[in-house]
């Protein structure tokens, strides 16, 4: 069985034939996509001059990954309060001194458009980041600043476009410190190095992402992250859900030692069905290092822990290095179960049915 699955992971022609949207390539180019959209958006949003009391970023599903990544990565340098909203309703505190960053890869996301309309009623400042769509047409009609990154890239691999544009906006309005273009350049270099190690052409015997995918086959992955990579657990779970139709769960340090640690040390037959993956920053403060080492001692007798360390100097390079690794693990899981990683028919059907009874206008 194991040998047959290794053969599957080493069959490049089979992988290419199954991956009809070329997801494997697009996962690799996300740092480049971020750099491209960052540069374009810096120019588009250069005229933005706001007196703000807070910022709300709205995005759902794959489109919610970018605002969540921003939230975790820049927590320590935000100069203006920032929050992520994943709901139909705009937060009650939103006012004419709030900026709503409306993000939707499809540009048709019902929850995001609902918040857009509510923001218009409250005279909230708005920028939109989307592909050519209903949301972009609304922005044009309402003379709202927007970035249209129309691309053939599948939604979950469009992260870079949304992330880079959001960064440019936040830099331009002074919400975060400048200098992120240099960090994105480093991220591109790191991913270039990694592609030769975990890309589809690299055989299982030398490919860490393929090895991890096979090791967690028929198990439920538990992903634990250090700050500032809290968004990667949610992303990996969503990639596993949508790419391969599989479950994955996550928690963040130091939170897990206040609750989930009890489940990890308790004797249970479920443990044989779980696989632990620990994402390490490599730049943690000493207290965090002590905590991780103690947790590993406590749970190592029950689990084999897969430990991955971020690469690079800047936090963006380290973030993209771990995201690319985990994206490829989820990608290879789809290959192992024989699924095209970009096709999500059940999601499309559900969205279509919900849109037919939408509470907001679509024409």
In sequence order, the β-bridge partners of residue 276 are: 222, 305
Determine the Cα–Cα distance for residues 330 and 114; give it in Å rounded to an integer.
32
Number of residues in the chain: 363
Are 110 and 238 within one domain? no
- Nearest Cα to Cα of residue 325 among 251, 261, 229, 245: 229
pLDDT of residue 358: 58
36 and 127 together in one domain: yes
**178, 205, 235 — which closes off a domain?**
178
Sign of CA dihedral 72, 73, 74, 76: positive
Tell whether the torsion through CA atoms of 221, 253, 58 and 322 is positive or negative: negative
201 and 139 inside one domain: no
pTM of this structure? 0.92
Taking the C-alpha atoms of residue 333 and residue 321, their distance in angstroms, rounded to an integer, is: 19
Residues 119 and 238 reside in one and the same domain? no
CA pair distance 10, 359, nearest whole angstrom: 48
83 and 223 in a single domain? The answer is no
d(CA 39, CA 165): 8
Q: Using CB atoms within 10 Å of the CB of residue 219, give its burial: 0 to 12 exposed, 13 to 18 middle, 19+ buried.
A: middle
CB atoms within 10 A of CB 205: 10
User: How far apart, in whole angstroms, are the C-alpha atoms of residue 158 and residue 234?
Assistant: 16
Do the domain assignments include residue 348?
no
Domain membership of residue 345 (yes or no) is no
> Do 219 and 332 belong to one domain?
yes
In this structure, are 154 and 188 located in the same domain?
no
Q: Note the pLDDT of residue 348.
A: 59
What pLDDT score does 173 carry? 95
Confirm whether 74 is domain-assigned: yes
pLDDT at position 350: 55
Q: Does residue 357 sit within a domain?
A: no
Output the six-digit token pair for 22: 């070329």
Q: Has residue 77 been placed in a domain? A: yes
Residue 359, domain member (yes or no): no
198/145 same-domain check? no
Does some domain include residue 306? yes
Residue pLDDT tens, the chain, 363 long: 578 999 999 999 999 999 999 999 999 999 999 999 999 999 999 988 899 999 999 999 889 999 999 999 999 999 999 999 999 999 999 999 999 999 999 999 999 999 999 999 999 999 999 998 899 999 999 999 999 999 999 888 999 999 999 999 999 999 999 999 999 999 999 999 999 999 999 999 999 999 999 999 999 999 999 988 999 999 999 999 988 889 999 999 888 888 888 888 876 656 678 899 999 997 776 788 888 888 888 887 778 899 999 999 999 999 999 999 999 999 999 999 999 998 766 555 655 655 666 555 543
d(CA 242, CA 345): 10
* Number of domains the chain is built from: 2
Angle at 264 between CA 259 and CA 269, to 5 degrees: 130
Q: Provide CB contacts within 8 A for 175, sequence distance 6+.
A: 52, 55, 78, 79, 80, 82
Answer whether 288's CB lies under 8 Å from 253's CB: yes
Residues 223 and 329 in one domain: yes
CATH number for the domain including 223?
3.40.50.10490
Q: Based on the domain organization, do 50 and 114 belong to the same domain?
A: yes
- Per residue in 237-250, is it b (16+ CB within 10 Å) or e — as a string? bbbbbbbbebebeb
Tell me which of 148, 178, 208 is where a domain ends.
Answer: 178
Residues 28 and 173 in one domain: yes
Whether 71 and 211 map to the same domain: the answer is no
Q: Which domain holds residue 213?
A: 2-20+183-336
Last residue of a domain, one of 143, 178, 213: 178
Tell me if 221 is assigned to some domain: yes
């Amino acid at each position: 069985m194991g040998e047959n699955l290794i053969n599957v992971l080493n069959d490049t022609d089979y992988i290419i034939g199954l991956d009809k949207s070329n997801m494997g390539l697009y996962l690799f180019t996300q740092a480049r996509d971020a750099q491209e959209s960052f540069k374009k958006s810096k120019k588009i949003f250069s005229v933005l001059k706001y007196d703000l009391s807070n910022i709300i970023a709205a995005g759902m599903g794959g489109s919610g990954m970018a605002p969540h990544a921003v939230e975790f990565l820049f927590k320590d340098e935000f100069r203006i309060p920032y929050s992520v909203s994943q709901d139909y309703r705009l937060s009650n505190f939103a006012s004419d001194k709030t900026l709503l960053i409306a993000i939707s890869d499809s540009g048709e996301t019902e929850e995001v458009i609902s918040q857009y309309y509510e923001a218009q009623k409250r005279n909230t400042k708005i920028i939109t980041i989307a592909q050519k769509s209903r949301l972009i047409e609304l922005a044009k009609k309402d003379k709202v600043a927007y970035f249209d990154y129309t691309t053939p890239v599948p939604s979950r691999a469009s992260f870079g476009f949304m992330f880079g544009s959001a960064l440019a906006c936040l830099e331009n309005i002074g919400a975060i410190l400048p200098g992120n273009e240099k960090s994105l350049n480093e991220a591109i270099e790191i991913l270039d190095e990694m592609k030769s190690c975990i890309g589809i052409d690299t055989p299982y015997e030398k490919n860490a992402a393929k090895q991890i995918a096979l090791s967690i086959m028929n198990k439920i992955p538990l992903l634990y992250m250090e700050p500032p990579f809290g968004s990667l657990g949610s992303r990996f779970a969503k990639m596993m859900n949508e790419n391969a139709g599989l479950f994955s769960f996550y928690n963040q340090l130091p939170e897990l030692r206040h609750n989930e640690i009890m489940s990890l040390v308790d004797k249970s037959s479920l443990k044989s069905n779980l696989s632990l993956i620990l994402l390490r920053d490599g730049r943690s403060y000493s207290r965090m290092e002590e905590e991780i080492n103690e947790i590993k001692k406590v749970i190592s007798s029950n689990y084999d822990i897969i430990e991955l360390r971020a690469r690079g100097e800047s936090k963006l390079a380290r973030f993209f290095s771990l995201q690319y690794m985990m994206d490829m693990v989820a990608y290879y899981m789809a290959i192992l179960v024989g699924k095209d990683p970009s096709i999500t028919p059940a999601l499309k059907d559900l969205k279509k049915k919900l849109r037919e009874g939408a509470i907001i206008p679509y024409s």
